[in-house]
């Protein structure tokens, strides 16, 4: 199912890798994080290539709601509680800088991508105290957050917090413009990486530095990301004929909605769940909410997005592992990949070019913080163990990544892995990783 971004932008194709190649830096992944990183490294005079398994922007970048914001749910109160005020300030500063970096880049390069400055709101129907605490935490982190009770939503809210000077855009048009300055080889999946050599079906690439910007890094060891992340799926419908909203909205309640204007559509998102755990008819549920909230509006398009979620809610950005000093990674963005892609690109460019980043410790992929990680570690570990045990049975569809049993996703006619989020079509052909190959056993129906 294609998004509105696919409907309004088709990025011109690129050739595949022509054969064996030597380069200074190889970036795996042609989504927003990979292209931005390659762009900034190229601007620093580095020799960079991007290896993309499919086509530029065809992965999670095309499924986003494209909010560029430092407002990431109830993150600042959590950071203050778990890591302290310094960490909260660093997180706020890095994301606020990312919003400004987008604005500067789009302006200086005159990129036509429907970029708009808009406020971002968190709202609640049931948890006003949580909003109040988040407002106070955001202010302590350095964000001029404002608590309000009136919004342009078509329903009353108990309380909301407003972040000024946030933004949104058309991500594929931005990516199209930016990728024109970068060397990209499409339809060139990286099948393995050993030290400085990347293997693909079209030849080997030898690189002094390697960046994994492929959504979910596929090497199992080192890094052990399969133990430290899971994937969450959320759904979006694009509505025609709905009244315009003055900002971007996200509800914090269990049935909270994500809303933003993307003229002529209104994007309505929700129904999030861990990949592999099914919800009955998520698109139908969103359509039902749309009819209640916006009578007369019609669903024009629908699609889903996947997000890698870390145990402590912070992304992994930096050196892949102490054992691989020339490997770098950007992953675990949660639902905030647009902003954190820019954070990643700036950070990785600094690190690869031998400069220090003030955010290196906060986002370090080598970190392990037991207190903020423990709740998700228990749940994630239990779900992964359950999938692995079920995968031991004979005659079931198993994920080639680690052998977990796949579950059937009726909403999108896909086989989904509940352990780490790989997805396959009804014939078992790979859609998205961390698996790198299709299933050996094919079925026509679930």
Summarised one tens digit per residue, pLDDT across range 347-373 is 999 999 999 999 999 999 998 765 665
- Residue range(s) occupied by CATH 3.30.9.10 in the chain: 113-168+229-310
| pTM for the whole structure | 0.89
Q: Which of 159-163, 219-223, 233-237: highest mean pLDDT?
A: 159-163
pLDDT, tens digit, 9 for 90 and up, residues 62-74: 999 999 999 999 9
Q: What pLDDT score was predicted for residue 438?
A: 86
Q: Measured between alpha carbons, how far is residue 266 from residues 103, 157, 339, 411 in Å?
A: 23, 19, 21, 21
Residue 445's pLDDT is 45
pLDDT of residue 66: 96
- What was the pLDDT predicted at 432? 80
Output the pLDDT for position 298.
95
pLDDT for 391 equals 47
- Rounded to 5°, the CA angle 98-104-108 comes to 150
Q: Express as a percent the part of the chain with pLDDT over 70.
A: 92
pLDDT at 374 > cutoff 60:
no
Provide the pLDDT for residue 446.
46
Can you tell me whether residue 64 is helix, strand or coil? coil
- What is the C-alpha separation between 159 and 96, in angstroms, rounded? 23
Q: How confident is the model at residue 386 (pLDDT cuts 50, 70, 90)?
A: low
pLDDT, position 444? 39
In DSSP terms, 166 is beta-bridged to 118
Q: Does residue 440 surpass a pLDDT of 80?
A: no
Helix and strand numbers (H, E) in the chain are 10, 21
- The CATH superfamily label for domain 113-168+229-310 reads D-Amino Acid Oxidase, subunit A, domain 2 (3.30.9.10)
Give the span between the Cα atoms of 141 and 75, in whole angstroms.
11
Which of 279 and 131 is assigned the larger pLDDT?
131
398 secondary structure, DSSP code: B
3-class SS of residue 247: coil
Distance CA 105, CA 100 (A): 9
Distance CA 420, CA 436 (A): 13
Domain with CATH 3.50.50.60 in the chain: 4-64+172-227+313-368
Tens of pLDDT, residue by residue over 100-126, are 999 999 999 999 999 999 999 999 999
69 dihedral zone (left: phi>0; alpha: psi -120 to 50; beta): beta
Topology adopted by domain 4-64+172-227+313-368? FAD/NAD(P)-binding domain (3.50.50)
Any idea what DSSP says for residue 417?
A: -
Q: How confident is the model at residue 409 (pLDDT cuts 50, 70, 90)?
A: confident
Task: Give the model confidence (pLDDT) of 282-331 as tens digits.
Answer: 999 999 999 999 999 999 999 998 899 998 999 999 999 888 999 999 99
d(CA 441, CA 395): 9
Residue 160 has pLDDT above 70, yes or no: yes
Distance (Å, rounded) from C-alpha 243 to C-alpha 102?
Answer: 28
What's the distance, CA 370 to chain centroid?
Answer: 24
Tens digits of residue pLDDT in 19-43: 999 999 999 999 999 999 999 999 9
**What per-residue confidence (pLDDT) applies to 375?**
62
- Give the model's pLDDT for residue 378: 56
């Amino acid at each position: 199912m294609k998004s509105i971004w696919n409907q309004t932008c088709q990025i011109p194709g690129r050739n595949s890798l022509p054969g064996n190649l030597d380069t200074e830096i190889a970036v795996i992944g042609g989504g927003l994080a990979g292209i931005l990183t390659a762009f900034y490294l190229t601007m620093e005079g580095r020799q960079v290539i991007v290896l993309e398994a499919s086509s530029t922007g065809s992965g999670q970048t095309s499924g986003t709601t494209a909010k560029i914001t430092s407002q990431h749910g109830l993150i600042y109160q959590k950071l203050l509680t778990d890591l302290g005020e310094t960490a909260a300030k660093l997180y706020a500063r890095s994301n606020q800088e990312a919003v400004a970096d987008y604005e500067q880049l789009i302006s200086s390069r005159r990129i036509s991508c429907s970029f708009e400055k808009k406020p971002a709101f968190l709202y609640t129907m049931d948890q006003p105290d949580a909003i109040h605490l988040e407002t106070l935490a955001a202010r302590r982190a350095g964000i001029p957050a404002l608590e309000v009770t009136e919004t342009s939503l078509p329903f009353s809210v108990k309380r909301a917090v407003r972040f000024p000077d946030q933004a949104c855009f058309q991500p594929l048009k931005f990516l199209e413009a930016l990728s024109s300055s970068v060397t990209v080889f499409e339809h060139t999946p990286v099948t393995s990486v050993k030290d400085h050599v990347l293997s693909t079906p079209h030849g080997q690439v030898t690189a002094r530095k390697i960046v994994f910007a492929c959504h979910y890094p596929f090497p199992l060891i080192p890094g052990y990301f399969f133990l430290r992340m899971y994937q969450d799926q959320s759904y979006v419908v694009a509505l025609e004929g709905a009244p315009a909203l003055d900002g971007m909205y996200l509800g914090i309640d269990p049935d909270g909605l994500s809303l933003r204007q993307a003229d002529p559509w209104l994007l309505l998102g929700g129904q999030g769940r861990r990949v592999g755990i099914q919800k009955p008819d998520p698109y139908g549920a969103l359509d039902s909410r749309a009819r209640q909230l916006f009578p007369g509006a019609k669903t024009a398009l629908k699609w889903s997005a996947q997000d890698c979620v870390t145990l402590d809610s912070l992304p992994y950005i930096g050196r892949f592992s102490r054992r691989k000093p020339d490997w770098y990674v950007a992953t675990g963005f949660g639902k905030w990949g647009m902003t954190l892609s820019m954070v990643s690109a700036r950070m990785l460019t600094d690190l690869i070019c031998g400069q220090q980043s003030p955010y290196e410790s906060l986002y370090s992929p080598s970190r392990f913080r037991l207190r903020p990680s423990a709740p998700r570690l228990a749940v994630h570990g239990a779900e992964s163990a359950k999938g692995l045990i079920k995968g031991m049975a004979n005659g079931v569809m198993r994920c080639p990544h680690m052998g977990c049993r796949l579950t059937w996703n009726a909403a999108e006619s896909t086989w989904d892995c509940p352990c780490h989020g790989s997805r396959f079509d009804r014939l078992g052909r790979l859609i998205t990783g961390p698996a790198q190959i299709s299933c050996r056993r094919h079925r026509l129906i679930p």
